[in-house]
Structures are given as C-alpha cells and as structure tokens.
Amino acid sequence: MSNKEWPLWEVFIRSKQGLNHKHVGSLRAADEEMAIDNARDVYTRRSEGISIWVVLSSNVFASDPSEAPELYEPSDSKIYRHPTFYDVPDEIQHM
Amino acid sequence: MNSLFEYTLRLGDDSLMIGHRLSEWCGHGPILEEDIAMTNIALDFVGQATSLLELAGKFEGKGRSGDDLAFLRFDRDYKNVLLVEQPNVDFGVTMMRQFLFDAYRKPLFERLQYASNKEIAAIAEKSLKETKYHLRHSSEWVIRLGDGTEESHTRIQEALDNLWRYTGELFYSDDVDKELIAAGEIPSMDGLEKEWRQTVNEVLAEATLKIPESDWQFDGGRKGMHSEHLGYILTELQYMQRAYPGLEW
C-alpha cells in the first residue's frame, strides 16, 4: 500500500455577490477534477459560492516573511498615498 | 394493493438505506475531504427519504408519518433493492455500489420529474440535481480506482464481481409500477435499463474494469425478502425509537 500523500490545492471561491474569487482554504486531492469535487463538498456546503478555482499549492510562489520589513514598512510612512488630503465640497453628501 | 403507496415506499426505502450506509462512513473516511463528501451525499439521501416516506404515508392514508415508516416497520415491510443494503466493506466496494445505484437513479429521476403525479414529480426534480452530482462523484472514483494502482484495480474489480448480481433487481417490475404507468401517474420506464447499461459500460471501460459474465441475479428486496444485512441496519436505525418511543430532539 502506498502512503504517498495527495498534492495540496489552494481553493478560491466566487460568491453570488462577488466578482472575484477569494481564497478560502486548501485541501488534498489526487488531481484537479477531484480537487474541484472536494472543494465543492468542503467549501460550498452552505451555498457559499457559484464558481470554484483550484490551484496546486506548489504553483503558488509566496513572498518571504523575513523580507517583510523592506517590502511593506516603507509604505507605512507615505500617508499621502491615501486620498484624504483634500476637502470634499459640502454639495457632495455621500462619498 | 395501494400502488402509489407501494411505489413511493420503494423509492424512499432505497434512499433511506443507501443514505444510512453512507452515513456509516462519518468519521471513518479515507481522507477528511472524502469523509465530508460521503456525509454530504448521505444527507442528500436521508433528505430524499424524508420527503418520499412522508409522501408514502400520505398516499397510504392511515396517518403514518415519514418517521413512523422509517423507524417503526419490520424488515419484511422495507421494499428497497438488495444492492443498497449491502455492507460498505471498504471504500472501493462503497463507491462501486454507489456508482451502480447512481447510474440507475439518474435516468429514473429524469423520467419521474415529468410524472403526472405532481408530488412525485417535484421530489424527482429536486433529487435529480443531487443525483447528477452523486453519479459524477462515484464515477470519478470508480475510474480512478479501476485505472489506478494494481491493488486498487484488483479490489474494485472484486467489488464489481460481487455487486453485479444485485443490479438486475434495479429494473424489477410488477403490478405496482405497471398499474401506475397504465393509469398515467408515472411515465413509461422504457429504455431505463438501456441507459443505465450505457453509463455503466462507458465508465467501466474507462476504469479498465470487466463486467462479470454470469447473468445470475438476486431479487427479493422489492417484495420484502432481504439479505441478512438489513436486520443489522434496522437494529441501529430503529434502536432509539424502539427504546424510547416518540423520542424527539
């Protein structure tokens, strides 16, 4: 008997309201079709979605957490990138 | 004989028993994902059984509820086919049993959704969507296990050899269905077996599995003559209602 584990898949679900597929979790499956079936059973049982993407986790290249300071911290001091430095005319009531 | 009652009971008991068998996998699936899948499917079947047995009770007109029919009959009064009460044994046997049954249920519900009897038609239409997914799930597994490793192939071929003799009964026909077809309550079942056989041939060919040559077939379930396995199912299924009559939670 083989004890080899099935590959890991990342699951993305598009909800009825949303336009984008959102990452919801991961699961194991032998191939892409079974991954879709498993994702349907694991992640859409409560009508969470109308479309599923699965991606082999090994195909996801992630940023290195140890590089977080140089990658993300510089933007913390650039508050001018947020559009909050202008006055909204009174006539515009809802922004 | 009340044919509407009897016919609905047969459909309901098929769903009840195969749903119960699948529910036995809860917490024992080969992997977490499959555990959830089988439990989902089990709940689909228990849901179908609830609607069908409730309707059967209405057709009978003696005040029995769906729960009364599910939990308080004796073994001879259950009318499911023998296939659905066969034990799970292992994942391969369970998937093969499921596949042989789903391949029959899909064309059956495709016909019944157009039944003149609106209540049967409504349940069939709802169940058909579930059944299409069940068939997809069980077919995919039969193909992967058949065309998988040497061990998975040997074991699922053995499952097919053992279960094949229970498949003839899926097309059992007697005065019950003939009367309903003649009365126009349900549509003709012409071509049902042919469609089943076509699905079975296609999937088993892709799975590199061989259909047994023996044509010898069991029957009896539709007449209440069951294999010894049903008694064990009923012991578990009925325990609570027998021990604590009327218990609700």
Q: What is the pLDDT of residues B131-153, one digit of tens each?
A: 999 999 999 999 999 999 999 99
State chain B's mean pLDDT as an integer: 96
- The answer to the question of residue A92 being in a domain is no
Q: What was the pLDDT predicted at A93?
A: 79
Q: Which residues of B touch A45 (CB under 8 A)?
A: 36, 40
Cβ neighbours of residue B227 under 8 Å, at least 6 residues apart?
A: B82, B85, B86, B218
Cβ separation A27–B136 shorter than 8 A? no
Q: What was the pLDDT predicted at A3?
A: 62
State the complex-level ipTM: 0.73
Q: Which of B157, B134, B152 is nearest to B209 (CA)?
A: B157
Q: Which residues of B touch A25 (CB under 8 A)?
A: none
Distance from CA of B136 to the nearest CA of A (A): 9
- Give yes or no for residue B249 having a pLDDT over 80: no
B positions 14-73 inside 8 Å of A (CB): 31-34, 36-37, 40
- Chain A contact present for B201, CB below 8 A: no
Dist CA B193 CA B200 (whole Å): 10
- The answer to the question of residue A9 being in a domain is yes
For residue A41, the enclosing domain spans 1-60
Dist CA A54 CA A33 (whole Å): 9
- For testing contact with chain B, the best of A8, A34, A47 (most B CBs within 10 A): A34
- The answer to the question of residue A72 being in a domain is no
Q: Which residues of A touch B137 (CB under 8 A)?
A: 37
| Structure tokens given for B116 | 């003149």
Nearest to A2 among B133, B137, B149 (CB): B149
Distance from CA of B45 to the nearest CA of A (A): 15
- For testing contact with chain A, the best of B31, B32, B33 (most A CBs within 10 A): B33
Distance from CA of B33 to the nearest CA of A (A): 6
- The answer to the question of residue A36 being in a domain is yes
DSSP output for chain A: ---PPPPEEEEEEE-SS-SS-EEEEEEE-SSHHHHHHHHHHHHSTTS--SEEEEEEGGG-----GGGHHHHHGGGGG-GGGSS-SSPPPTT----
- Give yes or no for residue B230 having a pLDDT over 80: yes
Q: What was the pLDDT predicted at A1?
A: 47
A positions 40-59 inside 8 Å of B (CB): 40-42, 45
- Chain B contact present for A37, CB below 8 A: yes
- Spell out the domains of chain B, with CATH numbers in brackets: 3-243 (1.20.1260.10)
Stretch A23-30: mean pLDDT, rounded? 95
- The answer to the question of residue A48 being in a domain is yes
pLDDT band at residue B67 under the 50/70/90 scheme: very high
Q: How far is CA A86 from CA A75, A82, A89, in A?
A: 20, 10, 9
CATH number of A24's domain? 3.10.20.520
Q: Which residues of A touch B31 (CB under 8 A)?
A: 6, 28
- The answer to the question of residue A65 being in a domain is no
- Give yes or no for residue B214 having a pLDDT over 70: yes
- The answer to the question of residue A2 being in a domain is yes
Q: What was the pLDDT predicted at B137?
A: 96
| Count of domains observed in chain A | 1
Q: What was the pLDDT predicted at A95?
A: 67
- The answer to the question of residue A78 being in a domain is no
Dist CA B41 CA B23 (whole Å): 9
